Amino acid sequence: MNFFRKNERITLFAQFTSQTLKVRGSVTLDLPLERDTQGNLTDACIDSCSEDILAKLPPQTVVGKIYCAIPSRGVSLRALQLPKVSQEQIQQLVPFQIEKCFPLSADELTWIACPPEGSATEDGLDFSILALRRRTLDRYHNVFEKLNAPVRWSLSLPGLTNVENRTVDDGFHLRIGSHETEWVRFENKRPVQLGVISLGYQQESNLGTSLAKELQALQNLTQEPPTIHLTSGAAGVEKINPLLPSITQSGSFHLTELKAFDFPEWLSLQEAPEKVIHGFHYITGEAGVVRSAKREMYLWSGVALGLFLLVLIMPLARPFLKYSGLERDYNNLLEQKENLPNIKRELEFLQLLEANRAPYLDAIHVLSRTSPSGTQINQLNMNRRGNVSFEGESRDPDHVEELRSSLIESGFFYPVVVDEQTPDERGRKVTFRITAKWKSDSQRKALPKDWMKAPESSSRRSSGRGSWRGRR
């Protein structure tokens, strides 16, 4: 086996119709197509066609170029006039004029300028622009994407396929397909009208009558009896030729001889296919690939140059970029400095309040925590000098002494004196009055950090909290 054998480069010729995809060249395929409600190829159809083409390619071959024609459904035609300029300037001016003629931008369209160099008149150069949505052509292009070959796109109508439109006769040119008929009207060697008729030689049982009616409708578009040029595939020619005499007698138009025309077969016989067909301005063909590569090269060169200049400028531009932020921060610091005296006075005032604050809440907390279960505080009096006096009642006389001991053990009060302890007549509860004095600030500061967790009385731990009802 020769591993160093060079792969042979082949050229494929293809044509999309409403129902099928024809591929000719080194392979011969007629693949059915499936379209969605908008007429675009479905994803499943694209994948199926791509795999079928790849499977039929001869071994040791690589697809070098693809020439493909698409139907004219969805193509719009507009007249355009430019001043007399060079061919290079025409390519630059056409995209700007397209945006004036069509509701979409030039980036959203692919187009053919017909004729490419324009028709010279006294006012300038006249063109006919045939435009198609780019996303429609993208769907067709996805079929050949796996072949990694440039594609040159054209229209399948004979009058619009041939670059040399000067050889195209004026009048109507119809291509009768299997399921639909495409037509284009030429005036002064330039297309002026374009359309699609839902009529095919495989659809109509009464084909002669239906075709005659459509030709009469086209006749109404002109003031004089038009010349109608008919083309069709080989199968269509066999079916339509016997009907031509009756069709000619039904109208006042001039009907030429029906010719067989299949785009793939016709183009495969040309010595230089790229020179005889119109091509859409679409970044797929060889020229489009070159333009795309050059555009990408210029883009990345510009990006690299911009980044290099940015690296050089950044050290110099940093002070100017940060000046506004630094100025704002400096002004904020000045404002804060002006506010420092006020903040200092407020802080000193709060510190003075904290230092002179009487520990009322601390005293209440210790008293609440050390009160035995069932003890009720009815009245509580405190003053800033630390004198605390409270009256209450308890169910057990021992609780009074236990409360006094707990207050002393807390380390917050000293001394603690039971001034009065009186049982009631039934002996069920004891009324008491206790006076105490909290320790000085220095003595309280010497207490451990957990002094607030005063020891609970034994009766309180076993029975729950005592009740609190009193007033300051």
Cβ density class 345-380: b for 16+ within 10 Å, e for less: eeeeeeeeeeeeeebeebbbbbbebbbbbbbbbeeb
CA gap 98, 127 in Å, rounded: 11
Predicted confidence at residue 288, as pLDDT, reads 42
CA gap 151, 148 in Å, rounded: 9
- Residues of the chain whose pLDDT is less than 50? 1-4, 164-165, 283-292, 454, 461-472
Domain boundary among the residues 293, 314, 340 is at 293
Please provide the DSSP assignment of 206-238 as one string.
SHHHHHHHHHHHHHTTSSSPPEEEEEE-HHHHH
Regarding whether 369 and 256 lie in a shared domain, the answer is no
CATH number of the domain within which 405 lies = 3.30.1360.100
Regarding whether 385 and 259 lie in a shared domain, the answer is no
User: Is position 348 within any domain?
Assistant: no
Instruction: State the DSSP code for 107.
Output: G
Give residue 413's domain range: 360-468
Regarding whether 373 and 274 lie in a shared domain, the answer is no
Predicted confidence at residue 381, as pLDDT, reads 92
Regarding whether 390 and 263 lie in a shared domain, the answer is no
Regarding whether 231 and 101 lie in a shared domain, the answer is yes
Predicted confidence at residue 6, as pLDDT, reads 61
User: Is position 17 within any domain?
Assistant: no
Predicted confidence at residue 433, as pLDDT, reads 93
- Crossing angle of helices 360-370 and 397-409, in 10° steps, is 130
CA 21 to chain centre: 33
CA gap 277, 285 in Å, rounded: 13
CATH number of the domain within which 275 lies = 3.30.420.40
Domain boundary among the residues 268, 293, 318 is at 293
pTM, full prediction: 0.56
User: Is position 324 within any domain?
Assistant: no
Predicted confidence at residue 389, as pLDDT, reads 93
Regarding whether 386 and 282 lie in a shared domain, the answer is no
Q: Pick from 79, 81, 78: which is nearest to 123 by CA? A: 81
Q: Pick from 147, 118, 143: which is nearest to 48 by CA? A: 143
320-358 per-position pLDDT tens digit: 777 778 888 888 888 888 888 888 888 888 888 877 778
Strands, E assignment, 134-281:
151-155, 171-176, 181-187, 190-197, 227-232, 254-255, 259-260
User: Is position 312 within any domain?
Assistant: no
Regarding whether 376 and 252 lie in a shared domain, the answer is no
156-206 per-position pLDDT tens digit: 877 676 654 456 778 888 888 888 888 888 887 788 888 888 887 776 567
* 245 preceded by a cis bond (ω within 30 of 0): no
Domain boundary among the residues 293, 311, 342 is at 293
Predicted confidence at residue 1, as pLDDT, reads 44
Predicted confidence at residue 72, as pLDDT, reads 84
User: Is position 47 within any domain?
Assistant: no
User: Is position 276 within any domain?
Assistant: yes
Regarding whether 265 and 163 lie in a shared domain, the answer is yes
User: Is position 355 within any domain?
Assistant: no
Domain count, the chain: 2
User: Is position 61 within any domain?
Assistant: no
Token pair for 213: 């009616």
Predicted confidence at residue 125, as pLDDT, reads 81
Regarding whether 395 and 278 lie in a shared domain, the answer is no
Predicted confidence at residue 290, as pLDDT, reads 44
Regarding whether 85 and 183 lie in a shared domain, the answer is yes
Regarding whether 272 and 150 lie in a shared domain, the answer is yes
Regarding whether 257 and 117 lie in a shared domain, the answer is yes
